[in-house]
Structure 1
Amino acid sequence: MPWEAAIDALALAMALWLRPWRLLTPRTVRSPLGPQRLASPLLTPLLATLVLLPWLWALPTLMAMPLQLQWSGACLVVLMLGWPLAVPVLIAVGVIACLLSPAMGWGDALGAITWQGVVPATLALGLGALVRHYTGTRPFVYVLGRAFLGTVACLFVAGALSQWAGHLLPSVEQGLSLVARWLMAWGDGFVTGMLAAIFVAFKPEWLATWSDRLYLHPPEGPDGG
């Protein structure tokens, strides 16, 4: 639909205005051998997204299934790359998914980009800002509230909006489609929360929205400094 293309174009223009490529700039670190230039740590999750996520988006059209399980991954991409970089990456994911699946037309790809990519990613950005404003920077809230429950909420709202826009689930009655979208949102939320917890513990540099200085700072006060 033309207005879906307008949503994606507006989001892409705003994302590019923020110059997200700066996040991929190599960084200089000090070592016993002198300063060294290292590639951005976000390059790994970016490439992994471009390799893996298109197959998951194309899976419903590559395999004949009674219920087409729609996987988004947009909220996880926002946590890893940040919204400005996530938007062009998710648009590229939709284009690649269309090229991978002959059964996916460009109209289907546009719908996937909008309702599985741009809209839930933007909702995740807004919800993340609200969570941080009202609860502060707490690791538990980041993993449970933003990565897990926040993903469920954002994907269900995006799925409900897509249904309102006319994108119905095949082989599912209209009265049950919202239930199906609610259940699929929980699957996305479980995986996003689990991976976010793993990355916080072992690969925090893969999360552009995480900062040890903010989330692991010592408590303020007479005893905390």
Structure 2
Amino acid sequence: MQLSELCFLTIILLSIKWVWKDIALNLMSKLRLEMNFQHVTCGTIILLALLWPLEASVKDNLTIHFLALTTLTLMYGWRSACGLTIVISISLCFFGQIDPYQLPSYIVLSGFIPILISYSVFLLSYLYLPRNIFVFIFVAGFFNGAFTGSMHLLTNAVYLLSLGAYDWTTISDNYLIFMPLLAFPEGLLNGVAVTILAVFKPEWLRVFFDRDYIYNHYRDK
């Protein structure tokens, strides 16, 4: 195992301290008590486990795939989303989709970092933009998904460059060139999912509150 993978493994082990309390007290207890929530969570895990292996590869390690982690973050919060990402990544490793020695970097680069970016964009929109359902859908959903997908490519590019796997010209011409092409479909995927959930199943979105995005909007009028 490379030194970088050991560093990522250390990050994962340290992060468990931060996510375990939320998972144990909230996610696990809810899974145990609510049958419907069990079905939603299992379905979410299966969908992401099927989505992530659908990737396009230009060169070795220069792979592109949809994340849908913005939706996952808005559904479960950043701590539980990180925990679910670990479960999904390990399952992909078990079925041979990810090499075991690449698992730590995969969890951090394709899981933790996009989740933290997604939650940060949501939090900034919640604090500094008008709280109505349209801002939630278009900023926390569409824009957030597109921005997170772009930052995911940039993060991977910087990581590969730091390893010396490719020079910057190769990465830029064969990988980062796809950033604008990926941003729109990634934003559309998350935006549509968030829209459907906000309209039909708002209780599935942990960060969505009617009093903030709907009732408060009409009260101000």
Identify the TM-score tier after normalising by the shorter chain. Answer: 0.7 to 0.9
Task: Pick the aligned partner of 2:7 from 3, 6, 19.
Answer: 3
In the alignment, structure 1 segments of 5+ residues that lack a partner are 28-37
Q: Deviations over 1:57-99 (max 9, x none)?
A: 2334xxx865843121211110111111111100111111112
Aligned: 1:183 with 2:181: yes
Instruction: State the Cα distance separating 1:144 from its structure 2 match.
Output: 0.4
Indicate the SS of the match to 2:160: coil
Q: Which residue of 2 aligns with 1:144?
A: 138
Any unmatched runs of 5+ in structure 2? none
> Are 1:88 and 2:83 matched, yes or no?
yes
The equivalences for 1:32-43 within 5 A come to 39=34, 42-43=37-38
Q: How does 1:2-81 map to 2 (within 5 A)?
A: 2-19=6-23, 21-23=25-27, 25=29, 39=34, 42-60=37-55, 68-81=63-76
Distance 1:100 1:14, change over 3 A: same
Partner of residue 154, structure 1? 148
Q: Distance in 1 between matches of 2:141 and 2:78?
A: 14
Which of 100, 108, 116 is 1:114 aligned to?
A: 108
Per the alignment, residue 193 of structure 2 pairs with 195
- Higher share in helix: 2
- Assess if the C-alpha contact under 8 Å between 1:21 and 1:85 holds in 2: no
% identity of equivalent residues: 20
Largest Rg, 1 or 2: 1
Query: For residues 189 and 75 of structure 1, do their structure 2 counterparts lie closer, same or farther at Cα, with a shift above 3 Å needed?
Result: same
**Aligned residue in 2 for 1:208:** 206
Tell me the CA shift for residue 152 of structure 1: 1.3
SS at match of 1:69: strand
Q: State the shift of 1:118 in Å.
A: 0.8
Shift of 1:183: 2.3
Determine if contact 1:115/1:159 at 8 Å carries over to the other structure.
Answer: no
Alignment root-mean-square deviation, CA: 2.8
